[in-house]
Amino acid sequence: MTLTGIVGKPNVGKSTFFSAATLIPVPIENRPFTTIKPNRGIGYLRAQCVCKELGVTDEPSNSACVNGIRLIPVELIDCAGLIPDSWKGKGLGNYFLDEVRKADALIHVVDAAGATDEEGRPSKPGTRDPLEDVKFLEREIAMWLVQILQKDWRKITQRGELAHEDIVDL
């Protein structure tokens, strides 16, 4: 089953989305860092099933088909909000990023109203550019990965040399 991380800065609706998608009640408050320990649950992706199109009866083993609609289970993890310099370990940033690392895919929840500052504190709607939040998360994850590679670069390259393999394949 695919593990999908729900990510973004604090106080933008990640837990609200998680609760709606999984029907699991979780603490939801209008303040940063309501979620510290990640919430986990199963949500279902709805997709057209090919059974009607092909005129066949199917019995999927990894999902359910209800009246031609396939319900595909997806494990969701509601990750705590990331703030600027989480990749440096600010706050519990590395712990939060490690939860993100476990995900196969990410859903980035963004405050489209621009009503939360960079650390998730409520602010006047329209005072923040939602695109900045997208760039912020990309930078946090990229810098976190760079930091890991820099720390382990020597070990990674030595392993590649010893195995006579391209390090990309390791």
**Distance between CA 55 and CA 78 in Å, rounded?**
39
- CA angle (142, 143, 148) in 5-degree steps: 100
The angle, 0 to 180 degrees and rounded to 10, between the axes of the packed helices 93-101 and 130-163 is 70
**Distance between CA 125 and CA 117 in Å, rounded?**
10
Whether residue 102 is predicted with pLDDT greater than 90 in this model: the reply is no
Helix, strand or coil for residue 9?
Answer: coil
Whether residue 170 is predicted with pLDDT greater than 80 in this model: the reply is no
| Domain 3-45+72-169 in this protein, CATH class | alpha beta
**Distance between CA 39 and CA 5 in Å, rounded?**
10
Identify the pLDDT of residue 168: 65
**% residues pLDDT > 70 (the chain):** 92
Of 27-31, 48-52, 136-140, the one with minimum mean pLDDT is 27-31
Domain ranges of the chain: 3-45+72-169
Return mean pLDDT, the chain: 87
